[in-house]
Amino acid sequence: MDVNLKAGSLSQKVVVVGSYNADMIIKAPRLPRLGETILGGRFHTSPGGKGANQAVAAARAGANVVLVARVGDDLLGQEALRGLQAEGVNTDHVSVDHGNQTGTAWIIVDDRGENCIVVASGANACLSPDDILRAEASITASDILLMQLECPVPALERAMQIARRDNVTVILNPAPAMPLSAGFLSGVSIITPNEVEAEMLTGVKIGGEESLVQAAGSLHNWGIGTVIITLGARGAFLSTAGEHRFLPAFQVTPVDTTAAGDVFSGCLAAFADRTHSLQDAVRVSMAAAALSVTKLGAQDSAPTLEAITQFLAHSPR
């Protein structure tokens, strides 16, 4: 694929407003039944949270990234700051919330890769409009504001108001799936739902092309200029006013699809700029997401710009 990945993307300024969670993962032969205890699990931890995952994906793809988030006043919070800084993510606006714990996600994965998850939001639930105001200058100076739905909506609304006022492009990855007001959606420039999220927002059951056109149409009707519905191993559906196309996924052997959507949106924020067409930015993001599913982990699976470039050089257009 003939895309110059270096030009432009290195200087793209991205502010991510979102969550940080420490993922606590237990691999077990099977998921326990209600009231049952099973032995034989293996435990490991890994950094996660949709905001932090997308911030790291954007930074590895070459963007200049500021994360606005909250972590707890605990060891996990210290680890979060160290890890993000090691990835080159600016943490000036990651507040340490005294008297609160860092968000955690408790994940049980069975031998077939099925999982169940409980999230203890901790400090993420306290991200406030005041936190956003403290980061106002960074948002104003950015090219892209990237958000998800793991933090309180009033904080996201404040960030969106600042971005809209200053002509900053707003990308919303509407995950996890939840209903949103028309007023909130009307401030979004680019939305990246997966099938479940698209269905939740529009009421349209996603299947073939007709349903994708219909779902994208209702999102356009709320004032969103660009709709990208991600379709897992099928690829993605890109719709802008008056034009739409289906882009098939890159063929890979999946190992762990956790955070494919996070890598996609993070990478899109790095490449949705003036030097790449929107379609090229989506293709690059699909390549990054495909690479991420060949690796275990959430943040850990996000590829570098170099890995994406090499993968694209060997992939047919």
230 binds ligand ADP (CB under 6 A): yes
105 binds ligand ADP (CB under 6 A): no
Q: How far is the CB of 152 from ligand ADP (least distance, A)?
A: 21
Rounded distance, CA 298 to CA 303, Å? 11
Q: In the set 49, 261, 297, 303, which binds ligand ADP (CB under 6 A)? A: 261
Helix 50-60 / helix 75-86 crossing angle, nearest 10 deg: 20
3-state helix, strand, coil in the chain (%, to 5): 40, 25, 35
- The letter for the amino acid at 99 is G
289 binds ligand ADP (CB under 6 A): yes
Spatial strand order in the sheet of 21-27: 42-48, 21-27, 103-109, 115-120
Q: Are 157 and 188 in contact (CB under 8 A)?
A: no
- Minimal CB distance residue for ligand ADP: 261
Q: In the set 252, 255, 278, 307, which binds ligand ADP (CB under 6 A)? A: 252
201 pairs with which residues across the strands? none
254 binds ligand ADP (CB under 6 A): yes
Binding-site string for ligand ADP from residue 161 to residue 180, where x marks contact by CB under 6 A and - marks none: --------------x-----
23 is a catalytic site residue: no
249 binds ligand ADP (CB under 6 A): yes
Q: How far is the CB of 137 from ligand ADP (least distance, A)?
A: 31
235 binds ligand ADP (CB under 6 A): yes
Choose between 153 and 233: whose C-beta lies nearer to ligand ADP. 233
Residues 6+ apart with CB under 8 A from 264: 192, 230, 236, 285, 286, 288, 289
Q: Where are the alpha helices (DSSP H) in 87-168?
A: 129-134, 136-140, 153-165
Element (H, E) at 25: strand 21-27
293 binds ligand ADP (CB under 6 A): yes
Residues 6+ apart with CB under 8 A from 207: none
Choose between 123 and 298: whose C-beta lies nearer to ligand ADP. 298
291 binds ligand ADP (CB under 6 A): no
Selecting among 23, 97, 131, 262, the annotated active-site residue is 262
Which residues are known to be catalytic?
A: 262
Query: Which chain residues interact with ligand ADP by CB under 6 A?
Result: 175, 194, 230-233, 235-236, 249-250, 252, 254, 257, 260-261, 264, 286, 289-290, 293
